[in-house]
Structure 1
Amino acid sequence: MILNDTSSLLTHLRTRRSGRPRDLIEPGPDAAQLRDIVTMAARVPDHGKLGPWRFVAVPTGARGAFAALLRDAYLVDKPDAGRVELEAVDAFARQAPALVVVLSRPRAESHIPVWEQELSVGAAAMNLLHAAHALGFAGGWVTGWAAYSDRVRDAFGGAGERIAGFVFIGTPRAALEERPRPDIDQLLSVWTG
């Protein structure tokens, strides 16, 4: 039986922070590390063993095509978009060394409620961040308009799928800042019957 090193796991859980994708630089994970990250991401609760998620890596060499896809999709909805907006769309596509698109693909025909499947997708995306952190990288999980664009979704999946987010991974340019955390006393209650 393998015993977990609880001290390092607890330290990991207490210290993991998201990195702003625009602040993540080289080095990013290599192909083997990215495969390992995705393998760990898939180790989540999955009622019915449905695998209601997929991961699509967008390598550095495809970032120009990704930027063009985003630009075209953006212009469909906002044909009068200005230079600054389009530059932001381009910057989004090119930030951080690694990018994984996380897709939700619920199995509607299953007896497992779609809600449970969607929770599993969220857990998989969170595990991507945990795995990246554990390997010495930082990650940022973002959505934005592109995650809700059918045109963008269709480039990565099909009509039955949704983009759960874009997970950017790399090395933080500077130490990650702690952000305000919720007051646990406001979140935790005790049910007494």
Structure 2
Amino acid sequence: MHEEDMPVNAALKSYLETRRSIPAFQMSEPGPSRGEIEEMLTLASRVPDHGKLAPWRFIVYAGDVRERMSLELAGMAMARKPDMADDMIAVEKSRLTRAPVVIAVVSRAAPHVKIPEWEQVMSAGAVCLNLVMAANALGYASNWLTEWFAFDEDAYGVLGIADGEKVAGFMHIGTPKMHPGERPRPALADIVTFAGE
């Protein structure tokens, strides 16, 4: 099909031209309902997945559990750095409470007789981006974060991450308090190579 024959989805094109992440601390209530969360997760799951392994899963942190887990994570951080400044203690205590809902995308990538582990990891990354876009499609702001506890296996017990799993990202979802400005984007000439030219 020639480019001139292909219909353009103007709304989707406009979204992709202007998509921006909202910082988690600039989100507020209302957050998505359980039904909306389930819809987002259904949409997020529609990604390339060689072998149909679904090498990822979701953990939803909503309601009061976010504060309890944030305080547990803060306790771990303060135990490791007893001289932590008060402003950083406040940050640690709010890790999962900045947005109304936080959803962990957990990678279950593992050696497989046919499917390369790297492809499984990339599938989890695709889920993360799909979840960001699904939240936006339902009218919510979203931000894909990792932060220290995404890489700290001692924190996994607090977060519900099992042995052998890794965190692909924490998706913070809520209502934006402000509209973000644009940020610099790379020039195509710096990131694109046309083979043979």
Compute the TM-score of the two structures, normalised by the length of structure 2: 0.89
Q: Which stretch shows the higher mean deviation, 41-50 or 76-85? A: 76-85
* Counterpart in the other structure of 1:190: 194
CA distance in 1: counterparts of 2:190 and 2:8, whole angstroms? 31
* Counterpart in the other structure of 2:4: none
TM superposition shift of 1:79: 4.0
CA distance in 1: counterparts of 2:177 and 2:148, whole angstroms? 26
TM superposition shift of 1:103: 0.8
Residues 75-129 of structure 1, C-alpha deviation per residue, up to 9 Å, x if partnerless? 3433443433221101222101111011111132342111111100110000010
* Counterpart in the other structure of 2:56: 53
Question: Could you tell me whether the CA contact under 8 Å between 2:67 and 2:94 is conserved in 1?
Answer: no
**Compared with structure 1, are the counterparts of its residues 183 and 32 closer, same or farther at alpha carbon in structure 2 (3 Å cutoff)?**
same
* Counterpart in the other structure of 1:130: 133
Q: Which stretch shows the higher mean deviation, 116-125 or 92-101? A: 92-101
Q: Structure 2 regions of 5+ residues with no counterpart?
A: 1-6
* Counterpart in the other structure of 1:177: 181
What percent of counterpart residues are identical? 36
CA distance in 2: counterparts of 1:77 and 1:44, whole angstroms? 38
* Counterpart in the other structure of 1:120: 123
CA distance in 2: counterparts of 1:161 and 1:31, whole angstroms? 25
Q: Which stretch shows the higher mean deviation, 78-87 or 133-142? A: 78-87
Residues 19-74 of structure 1, C-alpha deviation per residue, up to 9 Å, x if partnerless? 10000111211111111111111100000111111111001221121112212332
CA distance in 2: counterparts of 1:26 and 1:37, whole angstroms? 17
Question: Could you tell me whether the CA contact under 8 Å between 1:104 and 1:162 is conserved in 2?
Answer: yes
CA distance in 2: counterparts of 1:5 and 1:151, whole angstroms? 48
CA distance in 2: counterparts of 1:73 and 1:117, whole angstroms? 31
CA distance in 2: counterparts of 1:35 and 1:57, whole angstroms? 10
SS at match of 2:90: helix
**Compared with structure 1, are the counterparts of its residues 50 and 110 closer, same or farther at alpha carbon in structure 2 (3 Å cutoff)?**
farther
CA distance in 2: counterparts of 1:114 and 1:170, whole angstroms? 32
Choose the corresponding residue for 1:13, options 16, 21, 42.
16
Q: CA RMSD of the aligned region, Å? A: 1.7
Aligned residues, how many?
190
Choose the corresponding residue for 1:69, options 61, 72, 83.
72
SS at match of 1:169: strand
Q: Which stretch shows the higher mean deviation, 35-44 or 82-91? A: 82-91
CA distance in 2: counterparts of 1:42 and 1:167, whole angstroms? 14
Compute the TM-score of the two structures, normalised by the length of structure 1: 0.91
Please list, as runs of the form range in 1=range in 2, the aligned pairs for 1:102-121 lying within 5 A after superposition.
102-121=105-124
Write the letter of the residue equivalent to 1:149: D
